[in-house]
Chains A and B, each alone.
Chain A
Amino acid sequence: MRAPLTLRRANAVASRTLRQLRHDHRFLGLSLVSPLVITYLLKVLFDAAANPFFDPTEFIVAYGAFIVHFLTYVLIMIALVRERTAGTLVRMFVSGYRRGEIVTGYLLGYSLLATVQTLLVLGVLRLLFDLDYTLGQSAAVYLVIWLLALISMALGIFVSNFARNEGQAIPFIPLMMLPSIFLSGVIISVEQLAAWAQWLSRLTPLFYANELLLVLIKPGGRLSDDWTALAGLVGYGAVVMLLANLTLREGD
Chain B
Amino acid sequence: MKTTITINDLWKRYGRVEALRGVTLSIAAGEIFGLLGPNGAGKTTLIRTLIGATKPSAGQVIVLAMDPRRDVWQVRRQIGYMPQQPALYPDLSPRDNVRFFAQGYGLADTEAQVTAVLALTDLIDRQHDPVQTFSGGMRQRVSLACALVHRPPILLLDEPSAGVDPRLRQTFWDHFRRLAEAGATILVSTHQLDEALHCDRVAVMRRGEILACDTPRNLLQSGQTAVTIWRQDRAESHTLANYPQQLPLLLHDYGLDTAVQRIELDMETMEDVVLGLTADQPGEQPS
Contacts and interface: CB of A to CB of B under 8 A. Distances in A.
A20 B88 CA distance: 12
A16 B146 CA distance: 15
Contact of B91 (A24, A92, A93): A24
Contacts of A97: 104
B81 A94 contact: yes
A226 interface: no
A140 interface: no
Contacts of A87: 83-87
B14 A19 contact: no
B169 interface: no
B77 interface: yes
B87 A90 contact: yes
Interface string A71-99: 00000000000000011101111111100
Contacts, number: 71
**Secondary structure at chain A's binding surface: helix, strand, loop or mixed?**
helix
B101 A86 contact: no
B104 A252 contact: no
B103 interface: yes
A80 to B, nearest CB: 14
B53 A251 contact: yes
Given A90-B53, A90-B87, A95 B101 contact: yes
A91 B87 CA distance: 7
A88 B85 CA distance: 9
Contact of A12 (B48, B54, B86, B100): B100
Contacts of A91: 81, 83, 87, 101, 146
A88 B53 CA distance: 13
B76 interface: yes
Interface of B: 14, 48, 51, 53-55, 73, 76-77, 79, 81, 83-89, 91-92, 96, 100-106, 130, 146
10 contacts: A5-B106, A9-B104, A12-B104, A16-B100, A87-B86, A90-B53, A90-B83, A94-B76, A251-B54, A252-B55
